Structure 1
Amino acid sequence: MLLLRVQELLENFGMNGKTSNLDALLDEKRQFKAPVGFREKAVIRDRGLYDSASENRLAFWESWAEKLKWHERWHTVLEWKPPYAKWFLGGKINVSENCLDKHLEDGRSDKVALIWEGEDGESRSYSYKDLHVEVSRLANSLKSLGVKKGHRVAIYLPMIPEAAIAMLACARIGAPHSVVFGGFSPQSLADRINDLGATCLITADGGYRRGGIVPLNVNADKALESCETVQSVIVVARGGRLSEEISVEMCSSRDYWYHELTAGADTNCNPEVMDSEDLLFVLYTSGTTGKPKGIVHTTGGYLTQVAATTQCVFDLQEDDVYWCTADVGWITGHSYIVYGPLANGA
């Protein structure tokens, strides 16, 4: 029936099941060579890297893994049993350490790591040293709430620095995170929390989107009415006119203001040593065609891939200021706002 319906649609559009009747509005065959000056400074200057990767893909990925900081080296680059792939077996690593501590050791302490400007015009910037402090404070705060290695943390935040800080803090203590897009409904949030089995939720009083205010904490409270696993909720005060237009009702036995919780926390948190195949995060599909499905991403292989592609695909240079338009709630935001650029010290 489906094939017949497709054929009917094609005939209605005068295509008779063929694409030969389509008119090409643009037939572009020109080629442009990169200027010599650009090519000389590029990360990839010729086809050599592509050829070597094609000839020995495992050696290629191993060379990128060697650029990261490992506590123990792997004994096997890839164990491939279709459809299951395991990368850098035996390796021990921490993602947060590679995104922060590694750069403090390399002399990048004062280099700007994150620049943020909100919809309302508020702006903030963090050096690698600043970011390390904030991540350590939140990581220690999570520990104080009983969050341990292997516990799942849901993150339901607007596009603010605390979203990246929360991800890195979870990675630091070995607590897999799941970021839920800030535009999702209470039911969508509840579905993901329940499937994840999250014990902690990090949210905000609200956020700005397209000129309006999204009452994130209100949505979170509605979602938690049907969630039994969440034991603690951390609420970021977004500030601005939000504080005047949104009323937040805190549950005294469960909810904590982010700024109060982290204010007195230790600014140093030793990173948890993780196995390369330990879970880093779960990101759910949109659920438009069925129940949202949790896509798992493990530690060593994921970090190696995003570190390599950020540098090679985007030609990321040491002094570049890199901007990604994605939302942190999607995989592009995870990979090319947070983990990829920070792993490169950008």
Structure 2
Amino acid sequence: MHKVAWFPEDEQIHKMRMHRLMTKNEITDYDELYQRSVEDPAWFWDEVVKDLHLKWDQPYSKVLDLSKGAAWPQWFVDGKMNVATNCLDRWADDPHSQNRLAIITEGDGGDVQRWTYHELREEVAGFAQGLIDIGVMPGDRIAIYLPMVVENVIAMLAIARIGAIFTPCFSGYGAEAVATRLRDCEAKLLITADGFWRRGKVVKMKEEADRAAELSPSVEKVIVVRRIGRDVPSHERDIEWAELGRNKKALSSVKTNANTPFMIIYTSGTTGRPKGTVHVHAGFPIKAAFDAGYGMDLRQEDTLFWMTDMGWMMGPWMVFGALLNGSTMVLFEGTPDYPQPDRLWELVEKHRISHLGISPTVIRTLMKFGEEWVEKHDQSSLKVFASTGEPWNPEPWYWLFDRVGKGRVPICNYSGGTEISGGILFSNLMKPIAPCSFSGPMPGMDAEVVDEQGQPVRGKVGELVMKQPWVGMTQGFWKDPKRYEKAYWSRWEGIWVHGDWVHAEDGGFWYITGRSDDTLKIAGKRLGPAEMESVLVGHPSVIEAATIGVPDAVKGEAAVCFAVLKPGVTGNEELKSELVMLVGEHLGKALRPREIHFVSELPKTRNGKILRRVIKSAYTGQDAGDLSALENPAALEELRREKGST
């Protein structure tokens, strides 16, 4: 689809951790590594674990047991390890690494704090002891409903340290969304804050947390972090965070089994309640650490920042990806364009960020302000851009690559999911990178693109599937194994159907064109929404676009598009006709959209993912399902008005 834009130099390749892993195993060619990793996944993940130098309380006797079937693999059988030990103690106990920075936090107002591995371990051990003092037992579930502050990470690691299970909740959720998760996992405790700042304004949390607790009979205590020092309602069940963390007893981690759950993280569904994906000590963290450390070449001297929330998968992914690799992470409470459009670029300069994780939507938002805001700040610390959440289109990809990275910083396109613990596809830093593309599957991920009969295809769009299990694969949905099996394993026996629609070129590059349930079938031709959206965003007047399919008596389905125009551009019938013709020129007359609507914003999650299913439900008047991830509800009303005007 696109010409190659970035080529790795031989010297760069030889220094990469992936290359060193290959050399260690006497492998000279990356493709050979990939083939061995999918032909013998037990060998591969065993080598990864050894190379990460993880600390095991009891060695595993067998890497992989598939006796319960592909949907229920057991990894590192008989092994005992605790993720908190591996994130903290092995660094804090080493004089060479104990004073290395583990976390840098920056608030919305610019306040900065830093913690070394030694200091973070002290805080985690103290809070873990506090949890034990109030009766938390191994296996208890604790919900974390906090902004991007250090207490979020301390809580996660302390809960894992004592063998309990945490559930991260998006900081922008309302009470009902939080309560849904609390009730589903029967959480014993809820950790929250008095509030936080967002774009200079106070966002109240305690009141929402109180309502959520009242709607959740299992919640016994609410632990309150004093983030902004405002007066909040108090209840008998409340406990101050500061009180729990006072006991600095050096509490060691519980010796948990490799397959002991430590996290339940929820994903939103189009129907029904959210799905609680279950993750274990020797699962999610190892996959995150491999993807960051080897897939993105994150090293101990590097600093990782992902523009996300702890309630989304990339929040915990950043925590475990950074800490298991002994790196530094940045937690940011604010937004990338407040108080000025250069806030993100200022963060990069101030904290010497080497690995910057963003969504294409964030770049589309920032590029409209111009590169002069980038030029104000030194971006020389950047080594890798990483992106996830949605497909790219060329204009913002090139803007980030050329204007910000000056053509020297590769963009690692990365796609997987909450159930994956990281990525299925990525842009391999050892190979040339084409705009908007993936190089193919990550090592250890036996991925294929198949047609409607389940047969492999190249050169046309198909379903993305996984042919074998991998480390980090969710251990089902919390107390709902049948729903899990139906969701991923019911179409073809022993095959995981991921739900992405992918185009794998004969030349080797792969492209995601959207979720397969978002796919349009117009006059018998399947079309990923990203294909039409890229054409629209290629027009100089359009900054963002989304495409949905609606029933059509002649074509079976027709495309309806929604476009956000650049500042100063007036949306009129002439522009609509021009855009319709543009799509026809690029994709063919039969695929011209039936309608184009100009809107001020598209429904998104906070980390920038456009919610096409929400657009479709609002526009067609159907039930939208779970809307708890929606960041901007006002966008729905505008869509409904657009439907009413047609």
Q: Which category of TM-score, normalised to the shorter sequence, fits these structures? A: 0.7 to 0.9
1:334 maps to what in 2? 316
Q: Deviations over 1:152-195 (max 9, x none)?
A: 10100011111011100100001100011010110111111111
2:325 maps to what in 1? 344
Moved over 4 A (4+): none
Give the match's secondary structure for 1:84.
coil
2:615 maps to what in 1? none
Give the Cα–Cα distance (whole angstroms) in 1 for the partners of residues 4 and 269 of structure 2. 41
Give the Cα–Cα distance (whole angstroms) in 1 for the partners of residues 199 and 75 of structure 2. 41
User: How far apart are residue 268 of structure 1 and its match?
Assistant: 1.1
1:166 maps to what in 2? 155
1:281 maps to what in 2? 263
Give the match's secondary structure for 1:256.
strand
Counterpart code for 1:223: A
Deviates more, 1:222-231 or 1:137-146: 222-231
Equivalent residues of 2:171, 2:309 under 8 A apart: no
Pairing 1:164-313 to 2, within 5 Å after superposition: 164-239=153-228, 243=229, 246-251=230-235, 253-263=236-246, 265-287=247-269, 289-313=271-295
Looking at CA atoms only, which structure, 1 or 2, has the larger radius of gyration?
2
Q: Does 1:70 align with 2:53?
A: no
Equivalent residues of 1:158, 1:208 under 8 A apart: no
Give the Cα–Cα distance (whole angstroms) in 1 for the partners of residues 121 and 270 of structure 2. 37
User: How far apart are residue 55 of structure 1 and its match?
Assistant: 4.1
Equivalent residues of 1:109, 1:127 under 8 A apart: yes
Structure 2 portions without partners, runs of 5+: 20-28, 328-646
User: How far apart are residue 52 of structure 1 and its match?
Assistant: 3.6
Task: Provide TM-score, normalisation by structure 2.
Answer: 0.47
Give the match's secondary structure for 2:248.
coil
Equivalent residues of 2:131, 2:244 under 8 A apart: no
Equivalent residues of 1:116, 1:160 under 8 A apart: yes
Deviates more, 1:144-153 or 1:103-112: 103-112
Match of 1:42 among 5, 13, 16: 16
Pairing 1:31-180 to 2, within 5 Å after superposition: 32-45=6-19, 47=30, 49-66=33-50, 67-80=53-66, 81-106=69-94, 107-180=96-169
Give the Cα–Cα distance (whole angstroms) in 2 for the partners of residues 221 and 181 of structure 1. 16
Give the Cα–Cα distance (whole angstroms) in 2 for the partners of residues 68 and 126 of structure 1. 22
Counterpart code for 1:109: Q
Counterpart code for 1:255: D
Give the Cα–Cα distance (whole angstroms) in 1 for the partners of residues 203 and 123 of structure 2. 25
Equivalent residues of 2:58, 2:79 under 8 A apart: yes
Give the match's secondary structure for 1:142.
helix
Equivalent residues of 1:151, 1:198 under 8 A apart: yes
Give the match's secondary structure for 1:171.
helix
- Residue 186 and residue 31 in structure 1: after superposition, are their counterparts in 2 closer, same or farther (change >3 A)? closer
Give the match's secondary structure for 2:180.
helix
Counterpart code for 1:91: G
- Residue 231 and residue 324 in structure 1: after superposition, are their counterparts in 2 closer, same or farther (change >3 A)? same
Give the Cα–Cα distance (whole angstroms) in 2 for the partners of residues 78 and 36 of structure 1. 35
Deviates more, 1:104-113 or 1:35-44: 35-44
Q: Aligned Cα RMSD in Å?
A: 1.6
Task: Provide TM-score, normalisation by structure 1.
Answer: 0.86
Equivalent residues of 1:152, 1:177 under 8 A apart: yes
Give the match's secondary structure for 2:306.
coil
User: How far apart are residue 322 of structure 1 and its match?
Assistant: 1.6
1:29 maps to what in 2? 3
Deviates more, 1:66-75 or 1:161-170: 66-75
- Residue 31 and residue 213 in structure 1: after superposition, are their counterparts in 2 closer, same or farther (change >3 A)? closer
Structure 1 portions without partners, runs of 5+: 1-26
User: How far apart are residue 301 of structure 1 and its match?
Assistant: 2.4
1:6 maps to what in 2? none
Give the Cα–Cα distance (whole angstroms) in 2 for the partners of residues 86 and 210 of structure 1. 45
Equivalent residues of 1:61, 1:304 under 8 A apart: no
Deviates more, 1:49-58 or 1:301-310: 49-58
1:4 maps to what in 2? none
Q: Across the two proteins, how many residue pairs are aligned to each other?
A: 312
Give the Cα–Cα distance (whole angstroms) in 2 for the partners of residues 220 and 191 of structure 1. 12
Give the Cα–Cα distance (whole angstroms) in 2 for the partners of residues 345 and 320 of structure 1. 9
Give the Cα–Cα distance (whole angstroms) in 2 for the partners of residues 56 and 275 of structure 1. 24
User: How far apart are residue 51 of structure 1 and its match?
Assistant: 4.2
Deviates more, 1:274-283 or 1:56-65: 56-65
Counterpart code for 2:234: M
Counterpart code for 1:95: V
Give the match's secondary structure for 1:311.
helix
Equivalent residues of 1:201, 1:233 under 8 A apart: yes
